[in-house]
Chain A
């Protein structure tokens, strides 16, 4: 260990660096199909394992349980249930949000998994609440998870 130490904070210099990291993430075969259905048909699709029969949402090309290739597609509907939720009161920089944001994991009947998304049109959310996807108008959809604007309570 060194005998000399910096003891004055003004002597503790630094240098600012910045990491540029821009990417183009390929959706892949399963992602392509999932987002095409969302964009063109406002449908939420899962992929079914031929061996264990589990329907995965979001869909993928392989089964995490059996390591089988998944080729069968299933429409899981746009209604689901709040499996868990949280209410965020700060943004990523730690600043207080003007309006708290509700996030939830929404599960669909008969499917393993679900979608993490925002909850809108209500401030009263609870575990087990029935919700449905609110899609943006077709002209505004970009094949993104944000083509679903949010999930709202089923009346």
Chain B
């Protein structure tokens, strides 16, 4: 089977609002950049399949997948939509190329969060309609419940969670794709409003607008299009029960199983040693720590200490979220996974500017579909075939 590489990336945003562009124009601009980056391919001829990733409710359409071909150059071509995070689109593209039937596949995901007037009502609508929804309230109380149990079981401290915010927002200052970079202090995070005890306001990512398009290719095409291919070494995904009552509240099992699937394929036996840096879903600060443990980068309950000790800082032993994460870039909804992949690609090409991780060869991208889901996905990428 052919190896699969990412040969082009295009990104618009991320920004708090994008009133000057429609969602279609966001997609168009990101696509133009990605095709140019992939050696100037023509989507009308050179792309075999297009995969877009979007959730209808977040788009304000009931059949959104019908509205995506034109702005990607995909009208009357072969297109399918994954109703989920962009990394599931990457996994789909990877498998399509692995079949040997397709050589070039485009993946797209975006967020036009600023167009959504009632985002929390959509999140609330994701809860079980009989057992959970009738209780009402802001649905992020579920994150408060999870964080509290995670801290209780692992002994992780509130300060260690707050350190994640300080680190990620600081990294984001160096990232032109980030909407919410800032140099802030631990005290500022700790003193920010306790919205869902123990979860604080500054520990919650703010949504942002943006779009990311990737071009993936088989080995034989990749080497013609670029001299900087980034190889997909393994992908994995997993979903736990939707039942809030019976799921595991501390270990992010969906992420562990997704990671094991990807690691097996990528032949990663010791993640902390084998991976040079990681982009991890951090829509809430504590989730970065919980996910680090589920990704087997460290033992259960030790991610907080590692973070506090600076081992995951940009100049640490294993930088986590050099992009600034979602706390710094902004929460790109279903584009979150591709925000992670974008950073891994830029780092592995040596194009991450002031936030470049030295000698990076293997990077990990991880995503989660947010409250109230228990779906995660993982991709291991490398600049070495």
Q: Which A residues contact B (CB, under 8 angstroms)?
A: 1-2, 5-7, 9, 12, 14, 16-17, 19, 21, 23, 25, 27, 31, 56-58, 60, 64, 83-94, 101, 103-105, 112-118, 127, 144-146
Contact = CB atoms under 8 A, between A and B. Distances in A.
28 contacts: A1-B28, A12-B19, A12-B20, A14-B19, A19-B60, A25-B130, A64-B241, A64-B243, A84-B145, A84-B146, A84-B149, A86-B141, A86-B145, A88-B137, A88-B144, A89-B197, A91-B138, A92-B120, A92-B124, A92-B136, A94-B138, A103-B144, A115-B131, A116-B131, A117-B135, A127-B148, A145-B134, A145-B135
B195 interface: yes
B152 interface: yes
B38 to A, nearest CB: 16
B30 to A, nearest CB: 10
Contact of A86 (B32, B115, B130, B196): B196
A118 B137 CA distance: 10
Interface of B: 19-21, 25, 28-29, 32-33, 57, 60, 62, 115, 117, 120-121, 124-125, 129-132, 134-139, 141, 144-149, 152, 193-199, 241, 243-246, 249
A103 B141 contact: yes
Most buried by A among B25, B130, B146: B130
A114 B28 contact: no
A130 B32 CA distance: 59
B134 A118 contact: no
A19 B249 CA distance: 33
Contact of B244 (A1, A23, A105, A144): A105
Given A87-B196, A89-B194, A92-B139, A116 B245 contact: yes
Most buried by B among A27, A103, A118: A103
Nearest to A7: B20
Nearest to B197: A87
Contacts of A104: 145
A127 B149 contact: yes
A34 B152 CA distance: 31
B245 A115 contact: yes
A92 B193 CA distance: 16
Contacts of A21: 125
Contact of B197 (A86, A105, A117, A145): A86
Nearest to A96: B193
Contacts of B243: 58, 60, 64, 113
B129 A25 contact: yes
A109 to B, nearest CB: 15
A103 B134 CA distance: 13
Contacts of B28: 1
What are the 8 A-B residue pairs with the smallest beta carbon separation, nearest first? A86-B144, A84-B149, A113-B245, A12-B19, A6-B20, A113-B246, A87-B197, A25-B129
Contact of A2 (B25, B145, B199): B25
Contacts of A127: 148-149, 152
B142 to A, nearest CB: 8
Nearest to A6: B20
Nearest to A19: B60
Contacts of A60: 243
B206 to A, nearest CB: 12
Nearest to A86: B144
Given A25-B129, A58-B243, A58-B245, 13 more contacts: A5-B20, A60-B243, A83-B249, A85-B145, A87-B144, A89-B193, A91-B137, A92-B136, A103-B145, A112-B246, A117-B135, A127-B152, A145-B132
B149 to A, nearest CB: 4
Contacts of A19: 57, 60, 62
A116 B132 contact: yes
